[in-house]
Amino acid sequence: MSSFLFQNGAVINGAGDPVQTCSVLVEKDRITELGPQADARAMQLPGVQRLDLSGKTLMPGLIDAHCHLSFDDASSNPEIFFQRRNALSAITALYNARKLLRAGVTGMLDPDSVFENMVDVRDALEAGLMQGPRIACGCYALITGVGGTAGGLIRDAGVTGYYKVVNGRDEIVAEVRRQVKVGADWIKVHVSGIAPRYAHLGEQCSWLQDELDLICHVAHDLGVPVMGHCRGDVANRRAALAGVDLIFHATGMSADTTGLLIERKIPVCPAMTFQANMIDFGADLGTDPALVKLFEREIIDSAENMQRLHRAGVPLLCGSEAGFSMVPYGHWHYREMEVFMKYFGMSALQAIQCATQSGAIALRMAGQTGEIAAGMKADLLVVGGDPSLDIGLLGRSQAIEGVWVDGKPMDLSPPLPRRPIRGWSLPSMGKRLTNPHVLDA
């Protein structure tokens, strides 16, 4: 491996500290020195590559804590559940990983995937078969017979898409152990879900407290953390009491439940980029106005709780939920920082901290990456300009001028052009066609 000395650039360290100008030395896969010590040590090393970053910023690479790399920008759950094939999904996920690198993403958490093939994608990237970000992943998301967020599409037992139904103590224990054996970095639980008949109630907790307790007990006994998809007060409270290690969304919480998350310092990944895009662009895309209003209320109603969590020192992580057509790969991985600034009152540097240092929690690498400091993994991003003054720079591909993962420079050339995969997506007949001559249409 080569050594790199970054000089003359602004440095955002990812820990929320003010921007400074200093040298940063990378040796092999680690940051070893900063400031004058970096310059002095570089003089002693043969073959150091010196990079002049005048007018540019060096910062930790972004960590997307909620990204579905195998979904391939699907426009509906039926596509994911019924149109995908295992090997092709894994190959496509590797292709999509290149898009994340070009967006400055050096690490990501994939909570659940079709055929749990992100385990294989992760291992392929770790082995150097392709270039991509660091990946931590779950296997199938655990749900009860009530289902997840896809209603009647989900079978009453077994696997549907990225879901696995478990009923009763024996099935819970067996599935958690199986996922650990397969190689899951996290166990994912869909704590809340929607039954179609009761959709007007919103997502409801579909697990008993002792079931969630059991999942956490078995997983933790094997050294594997648990993450929960939680909307609604009951789901969030039961998940927190059970001891989950990361909560996605965390919307609809009461003040008491928010206090419980604060007491237990449970990290939260709101993953509201999908909703923010729906609010800002849904009208142009023909989205039902009622749905746009629903998503807007979810963000606004959660703002006070998120602010309270942040003030109390609870880590908030940035997640794009990329993998759907509303949040395609490579476009929106920076967007959650805008949400945090607009709705949660964060500064740019605080939002960047959520997308870097705090994001390392999702990789199970807290204190090892996500920060520019001696001893940290060299997962780095060079940006043309200063994102602390304009966070939108991180959403412009031309501003992403260099990406390093594990001290290795990544290839940022565009991926090969691709054509649609036959049978991969559901065809659309377009809008409903009415006959203007029929009076009761």
Residue 417 has what pLDDT? 92
Q: Domain coordinates of the chain in residue numbers?
A: 1-60+371-413, 62-333
Report CA-CA distances (Å) from 86 to 81, 309, 325: 11, 39, 20
Q: How far is CA 67 from the centre of its chain?
A: 4
Q: What type of residue sits at position 249?
A: H
Burial of 222 (C-beta count, 10 Å sphere; 0-12/13-18/19+):
middle
Straight-line distance from the first to the last Cα atom of the chain, in angstroms, rounded to the nearest whole number:
69
209-260 pLDDT, tens digit each: 999 999 999 999 999 999 999 999 999 999 999 999 999 999 999 999 999 9
Global pTM reads 0.96
4-23 pLDDT, tens digit each: 999 999 999 999 999 999 99
1-60+371-413 and 62-333 share one fold: no
Residue 361 has what pLDDT? 98
Residue 344 confidence class, pLDDT cut points 50, 70, 90: very high
- The CATH fold of domain 1-60+371-413: Urease, subunit C; domain 1 (2.30.40)
Burial of 106 (C-beta count, 10 Å sphere; 0-12/13-18/19+):
buried
Pull the structure tokens for residue 40: 């002095």
Nearest to 333 by CA among 109, 19, 59, 141: 109
Q: How far is CA 50 from the centre of its chain?
A: 33
Half-sphere exposure of 5 (CA within 13 A, CB side): 19
Residue 438 has what pLDDT? 66
360-376 pLDDT, tens digit each: 999 999 999 999 999 99
Report CA-CA distances (Å) from 172 to 138, 167, 214, 217, 248: 15, 7, 8, 11, 21
* CA 34 – CA 206 distance, rounded (Å): 50
Q: What is the mean pLDDT of the chain?
A: 94
149-198 pLDDT, tens digit each: 887 889 999 999 999 999 999 999 999 999 999 999 999 999 999 888 88
Q: What is the rounded average pLDDT of the residues 282-300? A: 86
- The CATH fold of domain 62-333: TIM Barrel (3.20.20)
Residue 128 confidence class, pLDDT cut points 50, 70, 90: very high
Long-range contacts at 163-171 (CB < 8 A, ≥ 24 apart): 163/112, 163/190, 164/139, 164/140, 166/142, 169/211, 169/214
Residue 188 has what pLDDT? 98
